[in-house]
């Protein structure tokens, strides 16, 4: 029989007339699709190249995936990892896993095999969805993933000769074997685990409930004014909260999503024009590149808004975009994976306060607190704290890191009356902000040492662990420095290996082989002796970063041995 994913591309205009209907009745993630399908089954939900799926076909495929997972024996709450680029099956599996009562774990397709293996082990993944091409990279590490039982391939190949304890299955066979209903779940159950780099060590899994994801979709769709007539471009990775939000927001409104795996920024412009996209959300590095290109004149006639997330958009870039898109509304946003999305600046405020991250999104409250938990005065720097329905469920299997970010609000917090006995958990972001006299927020800096490059959060120790694994360095530190297009560029200072040899070019070549492109250092500097320590005996990263910045500020060559990738 014909797979529901092999549907000829239809025009985005071939949908039933838009009908006004309450779109706030979804409680579980998969209901965003089933409710949209009930309203208008023929409306196009997804486009990918020359393929498209209507909401009715998408609901059929999700139901098939639900039945397939249950038929495999997966239990409520078990994890299903998805290691694919953006494609129709990626979307079906994400919503289908949640619909089955399981938990989907989207993996950034840029991750290398060892990084994938860490995540598969960390959250005890039971089933893995991938392609034959990606499987070739993963096969050496699968035996170390002791909880993995099932591998589902979206691309066809002979599976009968595969040895080992894993059960192998083709995508089409899984969907056709469906028919069973998913496990019973409620909106406070886990729906997803999104892995994000931590301030130390390996990435950590942010646990999100059905309520978090559905409330986020409802909130974002309300201030972006999304309707069934919208077409959103999914340019960000679906493993990002902001990337996955393009799906949830669109499905809440019954809109169309265009899935794009782009190689060059010009590919984004081509998709905007050819698909007549009405909404684009991206990160500053992409917008900086787009602002330098010539835009097709037709885009300004249909792009209703463009939204920024993942860091501050430079004023010059914002001005350039607005000159190309005079009729498009700019939305400047701030979000945390731990709370999905936190603030936005209304477009009519951009001229007055282009450096602001705005105010809280609907159904959220953003506080600026001192270290003792009391509220800061206007223009007094403090920590951004997010409370409300979007606050996640902590970090998977990590009590210590969860306790650092997810804390009980002080009893005197607004909205917390003295008679309330049970604590309310909020996300303490670790970011320093200030609020002006009108309540608009301004980002000041990050309390920890996280690096933000190309829209990604990268842990210094995550980079350092890879450097040490090359055996080409003795000691090393990584830190971020401001960069006009990347946000921050990753710099490394390292000592020679035990044999006294140090080759920055060879080291960077190994980094490119072992790391995603966004994690590769922009420069490597050799330090002749042991790296300085702080009083606790740890390598003093801050002192080294300060010395590096001071040398560049004086117009000197940063340090001997600098090498660019």
SS3 (DSSP) at 279: strand
> What pLDDT does 534 receive?
65
Q: Which residue has the tokens 């931590």?
A: 198
- End-to-end CA gap in the chain: 50
- SS3 of 173-225: HHHHCCCCCCCCCCCCCEEEEEEECCCCCCCEEEEEEHHHHHHHHHHHHHHHC
| CA neighbor of 486 nearest in space, from 523, 445, 449, 452 | 452
What is the model's pLDDT at position 555?
53
Predicted pLDDT at 539: 78
What's the chain's average pLDDT?
89
Q: For 472-506, give one letter per residue: b (16+ CB within 10 A) or e.
A: bbbbbbbbbbeeeebbbbbbbbbbbbeeeebbbee
The residues near 52 (Cβ < 8 Å, ≥ 6 apart) are: 7, 8, 9, 10, 44, 46
pTM of the complete model: 0.84
What is the per-residue pLDDT for 462? 82
pLDDT given at position 334 = 93
- Burial label for 557, CB within 10 Å (0-12, 13-18, 19+), is exposed
The 3-class secondary structure across 104-156, one letter per residue, is EEECCCCCCHHHHHHHHHHCCCCEEEECHHHHHHHHHHHCCCCCCCEEEECCC
pLDDT per position as a tens digit, 427-476: 999 988 999 999 999 988 777 777 889 988 787 878 987 898 898 988 88
Burial degree of 25 (CB within 10 A; 0-12, 13-18, 19+): exposed
The pLDDT, as a whole number, for residue 155 is 82
- Phi then psi for 506, rounded to 5 degrees? -65, -40
Q: Please report the pLDDT score of residue 180 as a whole number.
A: 87
pLDDT lower than 70: segments of the chain: 1-24, 156-163, 178, 198-201, 534-538, 553-565
Q: Write the DSSP symbol of residue 398.
A: -
Report d(CA 318, CA 311) in Å as an integer: 13
């Amino acid at each position: 029989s014909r797979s529901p994913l092999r549907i000829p591309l239809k025009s985005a205009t071939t949908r039933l007339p838009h009908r006004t209907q309450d779109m706030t009745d979804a409680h579980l993630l998969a209901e965003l699709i089933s409710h949209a399908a009930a309203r208008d089954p023929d409306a196009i939900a997804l486009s990918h190249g020359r393929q498209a799926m209507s909401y009715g076909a998408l609901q059929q495929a999700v139901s098939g995936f639900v039945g397939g997972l249950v038929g495999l024996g997966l239990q409520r709450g078990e994890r299903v990892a998805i290691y694919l680029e953006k494609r129709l099956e990626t979307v079906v599996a994400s919503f289908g896993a949640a619909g089955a009562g399981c938990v989907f774990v989207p993996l950034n397709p840029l991750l290398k095999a060892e990084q994938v293996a860490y995540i598969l082990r960390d959250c005890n993944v039971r089933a893995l969805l991938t392609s034959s091409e990606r499987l070739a990279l993963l096969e050496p590490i699968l035996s170390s993933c002791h909880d993995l039982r099932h591998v589902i391939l979206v691309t066809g190949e002979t599976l009968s000769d595969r040895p080992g304890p894993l059960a192998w299955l083709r995508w089409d066979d899984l969907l056709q074997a469906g028919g069973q209903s998913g496990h019973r779940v409620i909106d406070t159950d886990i729906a997803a685990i999104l892995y994000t780099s931590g301030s130390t060590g390996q990435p950590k899994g942010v646990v999100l409930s059905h309520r978090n994801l559905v409330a986020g979709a409802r909130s974002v769709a309300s201030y972006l004014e999304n309707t069934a007539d919208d077409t959103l471009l999914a340019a960000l990775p679906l493993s990002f909260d902001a990337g996955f939000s393009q799906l949830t927001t669109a499905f809440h409104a019954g809109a169309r999503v265009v899935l794009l795996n782009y190689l060059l920024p010009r590919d984004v412009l081509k998709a905007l024009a050819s698909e007549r996209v009405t909404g684009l959300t991206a990160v500053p590095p992409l917008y900086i590149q787009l602002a330098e290109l010539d835009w097709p004149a037709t885009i300004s006639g249909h792009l209703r808004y463009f939204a920024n997330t993942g860091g501050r958009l430079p004023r010059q870039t914002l001005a350039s975009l607005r000159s190309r898109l005079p009729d498009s509304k700019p939305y400047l946003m701030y979000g945390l994976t731990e709370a999905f999305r936190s603030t936005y600046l209304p477009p009519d405020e951009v001229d007055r306060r282009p450096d602001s991250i705005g105010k809280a999104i609907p159904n959220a409250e953003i506080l600026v607190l001192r270290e003792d938990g009391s509220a800061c005065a206007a223009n007094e720097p403090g920590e951004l704290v997010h409370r409300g329905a979007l606050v996640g469920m902590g970090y998977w299997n990590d009590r210590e890191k969860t306790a650092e970010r997810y804390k009980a609000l002080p009893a005197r917090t607004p909205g917390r009356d003295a008679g309330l006995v049970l604590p309310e958990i909020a996300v303490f972001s670790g970011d320093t902000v200030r609020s002006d006299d009108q309540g608009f927020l301004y980002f000041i800096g990050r309390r920890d040492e996280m690096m933000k490059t190309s829209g990604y959060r990268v842990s210094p120790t995550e980079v350092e662990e890879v450097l040490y694994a090359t055996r080409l360095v003795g000691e090393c530190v990584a830190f971020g420095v401001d960069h006009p297009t990347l946000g921050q560029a990753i710099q490394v200072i390292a000592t020679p290996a035990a044999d006294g040899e140090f080759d920055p070019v060879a080291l960077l070549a190994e980094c490119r082989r072992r790391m995603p492109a966004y994690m590769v250092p922009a420069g490597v500097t050799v330090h002749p002796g042991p790296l300085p320590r702080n009083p606790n005996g740890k390598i003093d990263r801050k002192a080294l970063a300060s010395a590096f910045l001071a040398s560049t500020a004086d117009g000197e060559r940063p340090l001997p041995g600098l090498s660019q990738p």
